[in-house]
Amino acid sequence: MTNREWSPAFTARVAEQMRRARKAAGLTVTEAAEACAALGLAVPKTTITNLETGRRSSIDLAEFLVLAEVYKVPPVSLLFPLGLEASVEVLPDREVSTWDAVAWFTGETRLERPAPEESARGVLDTFRAHSDAVATALASTRLAKERRRKASTTLDSGRREALLEAAGAYEQLAFDDCRELREFRLTMRQRGLTPPSLPTELSFVDEHDPED
């Protein structure tokens, strides 16, 4: 497929996904347009209709993002119909599996070796690793608190002792995870990167060393 053919075909595929998403969200064209306006970007009913019916061969990026939010779907799912088509022509004359197209778009294509830290892919990988570290620290912190809570509410002295011992082990794990997260964030800052804000439960990680 040539570039001249690929571009409108790509838009048509996105438009079909948007139509599916709108209907799945239970919205009429009028309601979708009103929801866009409420988000701060007016997308006329005619624009949505013309896109869905193929009378419009391109879509504005801002409109695309606002409509994705209105339909409550990840924008990438509108670009590549994962689960509906086995493969897509991701670029002119380049057909790949739909999952590979998604991975390419999100910067998750499998690499033979780690990307250079300062490359765009290296930065993406760093933030993904940070997200994993936050999830790990949050899970272990919550488990430690839950084990301590159970130990404090039982009236069985024998069970209480066992629960306190288990709580101590979970608290050590949480301590180690939070310290690792803190070191990760310090390293990010040293590289000139700005880490995302932490969940309220982990705000102490940036305030002081977990040993304090």
Specify the long-range contacts of residues 120-125, CB closer than 8 Å, at least 24 apart: 123/193
Read off the pLDDT of residues 130-178 as tens digits, 9 standing for 90 and up.
999 999 999 999 988 888 887 777 767 777 777 777 788 889 999 999 9
pLDDT for residue 5: 83
pLDDT for residue 208: 61
CB atoms within 10 A of CB 102: 21
pLDDT for residue 150: 74
Measure the CA–CA gap between 13 and 84, rounded to whole angstroms: 11
pLDDT in tens for each of the 212 residues of the chain? 666 788 888 999 999 999 999 999 999 999 999 999 999 999 999 999 999 998 988 889 999 999 999 999 999 999 999 999 999 999 998 999 999 999 999 999 989 898 999 999 999 999 999 999 999 999 999 988 888 887 777 767 777 777 777 788 889 999 999 999 999 999 999 999 999 999 999 999 998 654 44
Which H/E stretch holds residue 97?
strand 94-97
Q: What is residue 89's DSSP assignment? A: E
Q: What six digits make up the tokens of 86?
A: 């086995």
